[in-house]
Chain A
């Protein structure tokens, strides 16, 4: 990736959106790209991890089981039960757990050496999760519980709002619930991963350029650039976990809101 940029000559070309377009990895003519392979890999890793961890569960857990239980507990209690409520959360535990762990692994790919690509920086993946999975689920359970009209009314006519404001409020509520929420849910994680990866690219490639191409006086500055790249890697680690958490949290929140009796 860096080699590509530098191959264009001595002039420094700032990394941009084109660096996220990696092209087919099995040569020209095939359409399988690196993020596609990574997404499948993430699904396999998460699935294998939980299958392996739950193969022989003990009442008194060993270290590995304890780690798996901690992740499961986090998705189950801290996200699903908190947001959906102790009465209804059980059917949604697999969904929330899958969302959290799948996005987490895909994000973490961004700082794993050699892999170093956050899958969620390709908007297709978060869109698939939010628009094709979370969006249908929360509206489906909402309609199922409150009935078609009841759910629409609950979602678009907030209780306690004075009548004269409804013509303004109802379209906004409708837009938010039925159009904006799923898009922003995907955009949030996409943008964070895209920007984070771009920042790492800038500092890494910039440092490389300074080290190799700049005049002797400027070469030491590359150390600063690399140092920033390392610091930002830690920051990225934090953001990647946080974004996975936020995605799962908001998904659970939408489901909880759709199920709740009052707006």
Chain B
């Protein structure tokens, strides 16, 4: 309302709502020239820059993702290798334990065998010595007996054949009685 009053009050002044043709034409041409400049130079340059920037950022992201994937792959590989090494170590340990067990067993068997062998040898030796001693004793005893007998009897038993027969008979009797006593003892 204020505006209309002011407009009406200004007598003789041109109506501000009626455009000047020269201004329309000038405004139109000036704007078209500006539009042409922006369309031809400014906007394509900006759009090119944006594309480059997008490409650069996307490239960077892609590179980072690739690096991450590679790192993950390496990690997986190391983990797998570690697991493999662990399994192998465990296997080696088991094998070693098994082997040790086996060696121990073998050693024990050998030792037992040896012991048995030594014991057997000792027994055989003892048997042999005993037999020898028995034989020696038997000869000594025979001689001593004859000595004693000849002394007691007072006469020399000159007949070798007879003497041998007598002594052997005596010893056989002695042995028979001794065996009977030993069997009773056993």
Residues of chain A in range 187-244 having any CB-CB distance to chain B below 8 Å: 194-195, 198
Contact check, A124 vs B46: say whether CB atoms are below 8 A apart.
Answer: no
Selected contact of A94 from candidates B13, B18, B23, B35, CB within 8 Å: B35
Contact check, A98 vs B34: say whether CB atoms are below 8 A apart.
Answer: yes
- Is A14's CB within 8 Å of the partner chain B? yes
Q: Give the Cβ gap from B48 to chain A, nearest Cβ, in Å.
A: 8
- Could you say which residues of chain A place their CB within 8 Å of the CB of B45? 54, 57
- Could you say which residues of chain B place their CB within 8 Å of the CB of A57? 45-46, 48-49
Contact check, A124 vs B38: say whether CB atoms are below 8 A apart.
Answer: no
Contact check, A50 vs B42: say whether CB atoms are below 8 A apart.
Answer: yes
Selected contact of A123 from candidates B17, B26, B33, CB within 8 Å: B17
Q: Which residue of B lies closest to A191 (CB)?
A: B3
- Could you say which residues of chain A place their CB within 8 Å of the CB of B20? 122, 124
**Interface segment, A36-44, A141-149, A151-159?**
A36-44
Q: Residue-by-residue, is A57-70 near B (CB-CB < 8 Å gives 1, otherwise 0)?
A: 10100000000010
Contact check, A47 vs B27: say whether CB atoms are below 8 A apart.
Answer: no
Contact check, B46 vs A21: say whether CB atoms are below 8 A apart.
Answer: no
Contact check, B6 vs A16: say whether CB atoms are below 8 A apart.
Answer: yes
Q: Give the Cβ gap from B3 to chain A, nearest Cβ, in Å.
A: 6
Residues of chain B in range 16-65 having any CB-CB distance to chain A below 8 Å: 16-28, 30-35, 37-39, 41-43, 45-49, 52-53, 56
Q: Give the Cβ gap from B45 to chain A, nearest Cβ, in Å.
A: 4
- Could you say which residues of chain A place their CB within 8 Å of the CB of B24? 124-125, 127-128, 132
- Is A246's CB within 8 Å of the partner chain B? no
- Is A74's CB within 8 Å of the partner chain B? no
Contact check, A59 vs B38: say whether CB atoms are below 8 A apart.
Answer: no
Q: Known: A16-B9, A57-B45. Contact between A47 and B23, CB under 8 A?
A: no
Q: Which of A35, A76, A125, A129 has the most CB of B within 10 A?
A: A125
- Is A258's CB within 8 Å of the partner chain B? no
Complex: how many Å from CA A127 to CA B34? 17
- Is B7's CB within 8 Å of the partner chain A? yes
Complex: how many Å from CA A124 to CA B26? 9
Contact check, B34 vs A102: say whether CB atoms are below 8 A apart.
Answer: yes
Selected contact of B19 from candidates A51, A72, A127, CB within 8 Å: A127
- Could you say which residues of chain B place their CB within 8 Å of the CB of A18? 10, 12-14
- Could you say which residues of chain B place their CB within 8 Å of the CB of A17? 6-7, 10, 13-16
- Contact size class for B? 35 or more
Q: Give the Cβ gap from A8 to chain B, nearest Cβ, in Å.
A: 12
Contact check, A36 vs B23: say whether CB atoms are below 8 A apart.
Answer: yes
Q: Known: A17-B7, A21-B13, A50-B42. Contact between A40 and B30, CB under 8 A?
A: yes
Selected contact of A93 from candidates B9, B28, B43, B56, CB within 8 Å: B43
Complex: how many Å from CA A46 to CA B33? 11
Complex: how many Å from CA A30 to CA B13? 19
- Could you say which residues of chain B place their CB within 8 Å of the CB of A51? 37, 41-42
Complex: how many Å from CA A53 to CA B46? 10
Contact check, B23 vs A133: say whether CB atoms are below 8 A apart.
Answer: no
Selected contact of A195 from candidates B3, B9, B37, B56, CB within 8 Å: B3
Q: Give the Cβ gap from B126 to chain A, nearest Cβ, in Å.
A: 107
Residues of chain A in range 159-199 having any CB-CB distance to chain B below 8 Å: 194-195, 198
Contact check, A133 vs B42: say whether CB atoms are below 8 A apart.
Answer: no
- Is A140's CB within 8 Å of the partner chain B? no
Nearest 4 Cβ contacts at the A-B interface: A124-B23, A18-B13, A16-B10, A128-B27
Which residues of B pack against A, CB within 8 Å?
3, 6-7, 9-10, 12-28, 30-35, 37-39, 41-43, 45-49, 52-53, 56
Which residues of A pack against B, CB within 8 Å?
14-18, 20-21, 31, 33, 35-36, 39-40, 42-43, 46-47, 50-51, 53-54, 57, 59, 69, 72, 76, 90, 93-95, 97-98, 102, 121-129, 132-133, 194-195, 198
